[in-house]
Structure 1
Amino acid sequence: MPKNDALQKNHLLANLSGEVCQRVCPCLELVSMSLGQVLYESGDTLRYVYFPTDSIITLLYVMEDGTSTEISVVGNEGVVGVALFMGCESTTTRAVVLSTGSAYRLPGRWIKDEFNRHGEMMNLLLRYTQSLIAQTAQTAVCNRYHTIDQQLCRWLLLSLDRLPGNQLIMTQEQIANMLGVRREGVTQAAGKLQKLGVINYNRGHITVLDRPHLEKLCCECYAVVKKETERLLPYLHRVNAETPAGPSGDAHTQLNIANHVVGRTNRSSYGITR
């Protein structure tokens, strides 16, 4: 069973009462999230939900010709697999690990049992789902009306909010695939940000050097999503306000919490985990 300090790494789990934790925690399994790992494909039958700790999961919509675009990202503020507790067994999206780290995995029957108690877990998950819908809707608006430069700024800020440091590992081709734009557009946008001293980009490693400037260059979409998320999940605002701005760290360092899960750590390799 994870200890309370380990559960603090995911803000949804951190806000559960002791009574709910006693029911849920014995079923949680800490799993490793590898870069590029596919948690599920569109149309798959879902078996688990995932509560990221220091990893980021991107949710993609895949077209018939294989092209895809990102519709939302999930990090330590949320959970992946909302379709399971919303009455469905499958989803139209693909879930892929965008940033390595860890996540707590919970079997679908356990999340559904707790959700159907109509208590605090249901309320928390519904509020999170609404925030995810807001992010998805704003992403659609941003992709339609704003420039690639602005979309890149929004994507960087959303990713940074879900990481402990200021570094990301992502190639321009991967970013272009998620934004649904041409790689050349991302190259130009990243080049502009680098010339302004906002980021440093080298061989797939992105370091954000000036976040305040990045926020000024971004469109309104990031602020809209952030405000709505903090309205629905007010504890996130408290966490952000209480967290001091420390020195840059390695955003891809594994958290040392696996030992708190008794005999249940799964070191998954690349591939589909259903």
Structure 2
Amino acid sequence: MCDTAHTQLVPENIFELSQNDSSYLGAIMETKLLKDQNHLFHSIPMLEWERLLPHIEVTELPLGKVLYEPGMKMSHVYFPSTAIVSLLYALENGSSAEIAIVGNEGVVGISIFMGGESTSSRAVVQSAGKGYRIKSSILLEEFNRAGPVMHLLLRYTQALITQMTQTAVCNRHHTLDQQFCRWLLLSLDRLQSNELLMTQELIANMLGVRREGVTEAALKVQKAGLIKYARGHISVLDRLGLEKRTCECYQVVKSEYDRLLPEKMAI
């Protein structure tokens, strides 16, 4: 696995700059823009944000990049901004199924602060974009202060667990058509547009089904006038229609995120 380039964003503490310094305003604007790139970043109080800011690195998250494998010790935790990361469980025969997705609402690597240094799942970028990373030791140190960051991360973890459990229920009891719509809506909630680039094979791997099943489900949804699908490019034409067509699982997950986490910033 090849790591991509990353850059430390803030080599110095901008809060110690003089307000008369010509770079002060620009630095403040830059850190505000950064804070708004991820929901959890946005919700961190200023004192804790000041401690974390010098340790934040920007990183490219290309399609298919593996952030961690089962049993791998995690050196960093990732906060996606424009990318989406899929958490997968892989079987011995090579097949896999998605258990959750993480985008600009959250963090990849919760096992770091939940008492373990590794996990049994696999994290793969399913939609290319950018993100930020922090050394695991730095975030764990902040978490162990038992302050606002700890409470924020624990609430996020509860919401993520809800997504995982609801995904398991959905995959067992609802049609592939409904699962496909749920997956589309969860992805859209984490993107800034109504366009997704995703091959049938990748969607099949995410949902744990055969490619033919994905084709059939996509054609049904397209025939209903809700999406336009061609060569891995999905354009959502009717979001409200998707919400009506999917099962209750999407709303259960969305409601739990809305309940547990502070109001989302406008992107």
3-state SS in 1 of match to 2:235: strand
Distance (whole Å) between structure 2 residues aligned to residue 76 and residue 29 of structure 1: 15
Of stretches 131-140 and 185-194 in structure 1, the one that deviates more from structure 2 is 185-194
Partner of 1:172: 200
Report the counterpart of residue 260 of structure 1 in structure 2.
Answer: none
Q: Which amino acid aligns with 1:160?
A: L
Q: Percent identity over the alignment?
A: 57
Q: Residues of 2 paired with 1:6 and 1:163: CA distance?
A: 17
Tell me which residue corresponds to 2:70. Answer: 42
Whether 2:85 is the aligned partner of 1:57: answer yes
Q: How does 1:128-207 map to 2 (within 5 A)?
A: 128-207=156-235
Q: Matched residues in 2 for 1:171 and 1:114: separation?
A: 39
One of 115, 124, 129 as aligned partner of 1:96: 124
Distance 1:187 1:75 in 2: 25
Task: Return 5+ residue gaps in structure 2 as ranges.
Answer: 1-9, 11-29
2:227 corresponds to 1:227: no
Alpha-carbon distance, 1:160 to partner: 0.2
- Choose 11-20 or 158-167, whichever is displaced more: 11-20
Question: Match of 1:112, as an amino acid?
Answer: L
Give the one of 8, 25, 28 matched to 2:36.
8
Q: SS at the partner of 1:97?
A: strand
- Cα deviation for residue 172 of structure 1 reads 1.0
Post-superposition offset of 1:86: 1.0
Give the structure-1-normalised TM-score. Answer: 0.86
* Contact map agreement 2:43 2:262 (CA 8 A) in 1: no
Counterparts of 1:42 and 1:66 in 2: how far apart (Å)?
13
TM-score with structure 2 setting the length: 0.88
- SS class of match (1:142): helix
**For 2:74 and 2:135, how far apart are their aligned partners in 1?**
9
The partner residue of 1:66 within 85, 90, 94 is 94
* SS state at 2:263 partner: helix
Which stretches of structure 1, 4 residues or more, deviate above 3 A after TM superposition?
Answer: none
Does structure 1 residue 83 correspond to structure 2 residue 111?
Answer: yes
Match of 1:30 among 58, 69, 77: 58
Rg larger for? 2
1:191-217, CA deviations, whole angstroms, 9 ceiling, x for partnerless residues? 011111110011100000000001100
How many residue pairs match? The answer is 239
**1:167-200 Cα shifts (integer Å, max 9, x gaps):** 0000111111110111111101100111111100
C-alpha separation between the residues in 2 aligned to 1:38 and 1:26? 25
Q: Which residue of 2 aligns with 1:265?
A: none
Q: Does the aligned pair in 1 maintain the 2:221–2:227 contact within 8 Å? A: yes
User: Helix, strand or coil for the counterpart of 1:66?
Assistant: coil
Deviations 1:208-246 (A, max 9, x none): 00000011000000000000110001313xx3xx66xxx
Deviation by residue 1:76-124 (Cα, 9 ceiling, x = unmatched): 0000000001111100000000111111100010011000000000000
Tell me the secondary structure at the aligned position of residue 32 of structure 1. Answer: strand
- Hey, what's the Cα distance between the residues in 1 that align with 2:263 and 2:79? 16
Q: Which has the higher contact order (CA 8 A, sep 6+)?
A: 1
Residues 86 and 124 in structure 2, CA contact (< 8 A), matched pair in contact too: yes
Question: Aligned letter for 1:143?
Answer: N
What secondary structure is seen at the aligned counterpart in 1 of 2:71? coil
| Amino acid paired to 1:95 | A
Q: Does 1:122 align with 2:150?
A: yes
